[in-house]
Amino acid sequence: MPSLRSRALSVALIAAGRRRRFGSAEAVRTRVAESARRPASHLPPHSLGRVAEVSRTFVGAWPVYDVSPRGAEPAARVLYVHGGGYVGELMRPHWSLIRTLVTQARARVVVPAYILAPRGTADRTVPVAADLLSGLIASGGAGGTVLVGDSAGAGLALAAAQRLRDRTGAQPSRIVLISPWLDLSMSHPDQAAIEPDDPLLARPGLLEAGRLYAGNLAADDPRVSPLHGSFAGLAPLTVFTGTRDLLTTDSRELLRRARADGAEVEYHEEPGLPHVYPLLPLPEGRAARDRIVELIRATASET
């Protein structure tokens, strides 16, 4: 049974019309056009600088933030890939999770502000993300490397891990996927029944955002929809999803296909919880964040 706070938040999100952002293809095109005229900021909040050392470099055209514990050696490394339907920038909930990983897991967190669709398409974006992951793994030092992504960022993270496996065989210590968007065709038959209860997402807008990100690639190309790629040889996976999430079908399919390919999967599906609940100020979100911190700490102690 979901907590009272989580039920109240879902009601509030519906009342606030949050789902309208993805309510239609036109809504997404309008959002993309507005972002082109007035790009949203991806800068970290000033308060992060009080607990972390924050720097920024560029990898090609991508701003990449490096966030490390202030006054302490990192115990592990994290590549964090943010969500937003491939059309939205880093937001405060993303930075809040990053702060938790830095302060509680004592991780160095590398955060790419990747180029958004339609300028950033899968054929261009996935190789750069794979290069970032490869470089972080190769940097060595204390602790392991954990790949974390939420929503669209989880899809990009998984596609990058698959590409790196195919290219060199290298993998991070663990892959953590939060409400992953893994099949941009939005064609799973169970989604129609889930959609009315989702307070954040709707299929028409996600289809358009997915089309913009796919560019010239087909929707079932693994670079676009990594659910269609192989899971053999990947690092152990941890997945978080909720039953009020339109994309929970992707997580269920991942579980089935990954286990069929012999991959190790730790799976958390919480009843009544919305999309990206581990990023939200909920008791269940706190428990999920605690588990992610545990996984990163365990990776550090194993290395």
Q: What is the pTM of this model?
A: 0.97
Give me the catalytic one of 183, 198, 221, 245.
Answer: 245
Q: Are 148 and 292 in contact (CB under 8 A)?
A: yes
Question: What confidence tier does 142 reach under pLDDT thresholds 50, 70, 90?
Answer: low
What integer is the mean pLDDT of 120-148?
93
User: Which class for 39: exposed (0-12), middle (13-18), buried (19 or more C-beta within 10 A)?
Assistant: exposed
Contacts for 230 with CB less than 8 Å, ≥ 6 apart: 162, 222, 261
Number of Cβ within 10 Å of residue 127's Cβ equals 16
Give me the catalytic one of 6, 10, 151, 179.
Answer: 151
Mean pLDDT of all residues belonging to the chain? 95
Kindly report the backbone phi and psi dihedral angles of residue 184, in degrees, each rounded to the nearest multiple of 5, phi listed first: -80, -5
What integer is the mean pLDDT of 161-173?
97
Please give the pLDDT value at position 302: 65
Say what percent of the chain tops pLDDT 90: 89
**Whether 183 is catalytic:** no
How confident is the model over 117-130, as pLDDT tens digits?
999 999 999 999 99
Question: What confidence tier does 300 reach under pLDDT thresholds 50, 70, 90?
Answer: confident
Residue 90 clears pLDDT 60, i.e. is over it: yes
Please give the pLDDT value at position 2: 87
Give the CB-side neighbour count of residue 35, counting CA atoms within 13 A. Answer: 19
Please give the pLDDT value at position 16: 75
**Tokens (6 digits) for 22:** 């993805």
Q: Are 50 and 102 in contact (CB under 8 A)?
A: no
Please give the pLDDT value at position 262: 98
Distance CA(125)–CA(156), nearest Å, equals 8
- The number of residues in the chain equals 303
Give the CB-side neighbour count of residue 60, counting CA atoms within 13 A. Answer: 13
How confident is the model over 181-206, as pLDDT tens digits?
999 999 999 999 999 999 999 999 99
Give me the catalytic one of 42, 82, 228, 275.
Answer: 275
**Whether 197 is catalytic:** no
How confident is the model over 238-281, as pLDDT tens digits?
999 999 999 999 999 999 999 999 999 999 999 999 999 999 99
Please give the pLDDT value at position 301: 65
Residue 79 clears pLDDT 60, i.e. is over it: yes
**Whether 82 is catalytic:** no
More confident residue, 8 or 14: 8
